[in-house]
Amino acid sequence: MNIIRPIRQSDYSSLHEIAVESGIGFTSLPVNEELLKNKIERAEAGFTSQVSQPGCESYLFVMEDTQTGKVVGTTGIEAAVGLDDAFYHYHLGKVVHASRELNIHNTVDILTFCNDYTGVTEICTLFLRECARGGINGRFLSKVRFLFMMEHRERFSETIIAEMRGVSDEEGRSPFWQWLEEHFFSMDFPTADYLSGIGNKVFIAELMPKYPIYVSLLSQRAQEVIGQVHEKTRPALQLLQEEGFSCRGYVDIFDGGPTVEANLTHIRTAQESRKLPIIIDDQTAAQGRSYYIINTSVDDFRAVATEMVVSEEQQVAVISRQAAAALNISAGEYVRFAPVHSKN
């Protein structure tokens, strides 16, 4: 059985392996010992914090195979971005150049540098190791965040965003960044991406063009990748689109990848989730359907995906002893859950 739980210091070596495997462009997991350890420390502080509104808390989870004890994936939430340091995007908009006298009307796409998402909640750092890909593991890592946020709504913004990895090649070259590099930065994409990932963002404010950029001035290849995702990111984007996320014209300033957003209460898994007390009965639970299930704790959070029966008459959820042990709960305690749909 796979469980999802808060990360801890002893998971450092596993997180480092995941960071290496994730490759260039996965900004939230830089291959840097100090920064990875800081991420774990921030997450430990986040899970033990007492808060009434979203702040700078970070929540980083890992998926653990209970049979082997091996960490096979990670997923995270930033409660409110842009409060400690600036959170940058380009917004893809339009301007109209028109002359009634000459009967000319041209609509032009522009990219405007902005901080519009300051203070919103970001889901991030989702990566499943190749050895664990298959089945519902990827969906489980994605959806568990919405159950956690729905259960602890005071900790998160109503607006949830996700930055999707943009187009780059195997060497980390980004067509979008190549144009910016040539004209403004004189720094390759892997270097810029790494500096941003380790929190060194001063260079962005210093060197990024402050005025709107006419998209038509970019190279043809750069124009083509604006709002497009890396081929390895397409499954993650599809998952979020199924949940109700959409892009409102915001793209990453380095690779042009789209940022998608949704309101928490409109996210499919959050909408479908319910909260009920449990009873433990192996025989009955085995006859049920599959659910994503979480306990209601923060610092002792646990999640599983397994069979469960919902008794509408008794208003209880019936789970197995194995599931109860994995969730670290006893009979009468509450769980929040959402169904695993057949296409999952």
Using alpha carbons, select from 163, 162, 206, 207 the residue that is nearest to residue 181.
Answer: 207
Is the residue at 293 inside a domain? Answer: yes
Cα–Cα distance measured from residue 154 to residue 101, given in angstroms and rounded to the nearest whole number = 56
Residue 100 lies in a domain: no
Tell me how many domains the chain contains.
2
Mean pLDDT of 241-252: 96
Per residue in 145-178, pLDDT (tens digit) is 999 999 999 999 999 999 998 998 877 788 988 8
Let me know if residue 97 belongs to a domain: no
Examine the fold and report which residue of 246, 268, 290 is the final residue of a domain before the chain moves on.
Answer: 268
- Check whether 104 has a pLDDT greater than 80: yes
Q: Is the pTM of this model over 0.85?
A: yes
- Do 162 and 302 belong to one domain? no
Give me the CATH number covering residue 324: 2.40.40.20
CA distance 319 to 285: 5
Q: Tell me whether residue 25 is in a domain.
A: yes
Q: Which of 91, 97, 105, 230 is catalytic?
A: 230
pLDDT per position as a tens digit, 259-286 = 999 999 999 999 999 999 999 999 999 9
Give the closest residue to 2 by CA, choosing from 93, 72, 81: 72
Active site residue 105: no
Q: Whole-angstrom Cα distance, residue 324 to residue 339?
A: 17
> What was the pLDDT predicted at 288?
92
- Read out DSSP for 187-247? S-HHHHHHHHHTT--HHHHHHS--SPEEGGGS-HHHHHHTT---GGGHHHHHHHHHHT-EE
- Residue 206's domain comprises 2-88+116-268
**Same structural domain for residues 287 and 322?**
yes
User: Does 149 map to a domain?
Assistant: yes
Among residues 237, 268, 299, which one ends one of the domains?
268
Q: Is the same domain home to 207 and 333?
A: no
Question: Could you tell me if 178 and 322 lie in one domain?
Answer: no
Does residue 187 sit in the same domain as residue 281?
no
- 299 lies in the same domain as 182: no
Q: Is it the case that residue 23 has pLDDT exceeding 80?
A: no
Q: What is the three-class DSSP state of 109?
A: strand
- Residue 317, classified by CB atoms within 10 Å of its CB into exposed (0-12), middle (13-18) or buried (19+), is buried
Same-domain check for residues 66 and 190:
yes
Whether residues 135 and 261 share a domain: the answer is yes
Residues 134 and 255 in one domain: yes
Lowest mean pLDDT among 118-127, 186-195, 259-268: 186-195
Q: What's the token pair of residue 287?
A: 């006859």
Q: Which of 213, 234, 268 delimits the end of a domain?
A: 268
Residue 211 lies in a domain: yes
CA distances from 128 to 62, 201, 280, 303, 325 (A): 10, 27, 31, 16, 24
Query: How far is 177 from 165, CA to CA, in rounded Å?
Result: 13
**Domain CATH number, residue 52:** 3.40.630.30
In a domain, 103, yes or no: no
Lowest mean pLDDT among 22-31, 71-80, 207-216, 256-265: 22-31
Q: What is residue 198's predicted lDDT score, i.e. its pLDDT?
A: 60
159 and 176 fall within a common domain: yes
Looking at the structure, tell me whether residues 143 and 170 fall in a common domain.
Answer: yes
Q: What are phi and psi of 272, to 5 degrees?
A: -80, -10
Identify whether 34 is part of a domain: yes
Q: Based on the fold, state whether residues 138 and 282 are members of the same structural domain.
A: no
